[in-house]
Chain A
């Protein structure tokens, strides 16, 4: 069964901490994405990557950075966590060969910054 795995389901971090969210996919997908989901705002794209070591800013990149050293792994970094970064974080991957643009999502990481 194909999977996108996010390392943590729940995290609680203190303001100012550096936070790492890890995502691994086993489908050999080129594209990987980080979203955050907030009530009433839907899914907002933070960063995406279409190849190893490549990254592009999404709609809300401020306060975040990413790393993609290997094709299967895409990491989201909160340089200095703030309370407004409390959210559900979702990682997804996709293949550009798929006509239906289908994304496979991980189960999400619920991050609380206190």
Chain B
């Protein structure tokens, strides 16, 4: 049972506009969420995270919003740049382990010039 879901396999956005990537989760016990970015032929790299005690975390052009009642989080990228084209994964620590992550399937973001 996949507990972290990214329902959009891909997303295409015009350069300069806002990109919004979505992630849903099923386990209300999750208390921390992470976003990773992955380029082809490279490993994922950590992008931004959020604790469940917050509803927003911002780092430059990247903002993550958490809606606990809806079990939903989203990553906003403003403005979108060509270098943002990548696969984005959301992840959450597994409840029965303090170092295992559960991963979403990923969303491929394509920024059009």
Contacts and interface: CB of A to CB of B under 8 A. Distances in A.
B42 interface: yes
B49 A106 contact: no
Interface in A16-40: 31, 40
A105 B43 CA distance: 5
A106 B43 contact: yes
Contacts of A48: 100
Interface in A66-114: 90-92, 94, 96, 100-103, 105-108, 110
Contacts of A91: 43
Given A100-B49, A101-B93, A102-B34, A43 B43 contact: no
Contacts of A9: 41
Contacts, number: 55
A40 B105 contact: yes
Q: How large is the interface on A (under 10, 10 to 19, 20 to 34, 35 or more residues)?
A: 20 to 34
A108 B41 contact: yes
Nearest to A110: B41
Interface residues of B, number: 22
Given A100-B34, A103-B46, A105-B44, A42 B100 contact: no
Contact of B99 (A40, A41, A50, A107): A50
Given A50-B99, A101-B34, A90 B44 contact: yes
Contacts of B98: 96
Interface of A: 4, 9, 31, 40-45, 48, 50, 90-92, 94, 96, 100-103, 105-108, 110
Interface of B: 6, 9, 32, 34, 36, 41-46, 49, 89, 93, 98-101, 103-106
12 contacts: A40-B9, A41-B105, A42-B6, A42-B89, A42-B103, A43-B44, A43-B89, A90-B43, A100-B34, A100-B49, A103-B46, A108-B42
